[in-house]
Amino acid sequence: MTPQEIADKVQKQFGDAVLEFDGEALDPVIKVKPDAWFDICQFLKTDADLQFDNLVCLSGFDYGAGKDLGIIIHLYSFPKRHSIAVKADLPRENPHIRSIESLWRTADWHEREVFDLYGVVFDGHPDLRRILCPDDWEGYPLRKDYQVQEFYHGIRVPYKEDWEQFDTFLKNPRRGHFVYQFERTLPANGNAKPKEKPSS
């Protein structure tokens, strides 16, 4: 089926829960209401004409500071050899949407990543916790209004300038062990650049 035919079939089944269809996008995408997210995903997977058995990816995105967040999935059907993307917008404050982990198991860690980096809560997820940042990290690093915390458990969080302005250690000796391996190679005056940066 073509993306337009897929969108028409979903529209016929779910009516005004389908908000729009962009067939001109590089990956044609159906935008849906958040409260219909799970039901539409289930339909895409189980309908005999659609059979989207493969969740390629699930990602979050941010429209900008003070604006909505969103999630998007890319689906592929191996039996039918067609594809589609589906997205939903969520309020910036207290964003919730139903988990689709029970439909596609690969959504497990994808949803955890979006929770970790954007703060989207996937209701019904069996183990929703941070996957990249520590459990007690402050904020959601991929939000466009994210402010990096200066210290974590008393250890200074490195900023970009930590790797470019080599006099910062002399100005602030409280900086922590994350940059110590790098800065201990500097001469006492802090002016020369080391030959290599530490490996992560």
Query: Domain-by-domain residue ranges, the chain?
Result: 3-123, 148-200
Q: Are strands 121-123 and 96-98 parallel, antiparallel or unpaired?
A: parallel
Amino acid type, 198 = P
User: pLDDT tens digits for 158-183?
Assistant: 665 555 555 555 555 544 434 444 44
CB 25 within 8 A of CB 51: no
Give, to the nearest 10 degrees, the angle between helix 3-14 and helix 37-46.
120
CB 188 within 8 A of CB 179: no
pLDDT at 167: 55
User: pLDDT tens digits for 53-76?
Assistant: 999 999 999 999 889 999 999 999
Greatest Cα pair distance, the chain, in angstroms, is 71
Dihedral sign from CA coordinates of 131, 133, 139, 145: negative
Q: How far apart are CA 91 and CA 121, in angstroms?
A: 11
pTM for this one? 0.78
CB 86 within 8 A of CB 72: yes
Q: Which fold has domain 3-123?
A: Beta Polymerase; domain 2 (3.30.460)
pLDDT lower than 70: segments of the chain: 158-200
pLDDT at 100: 98
pLDDT at 162: 54
Q: Which residue has the tokens 């059907």?
A: 77
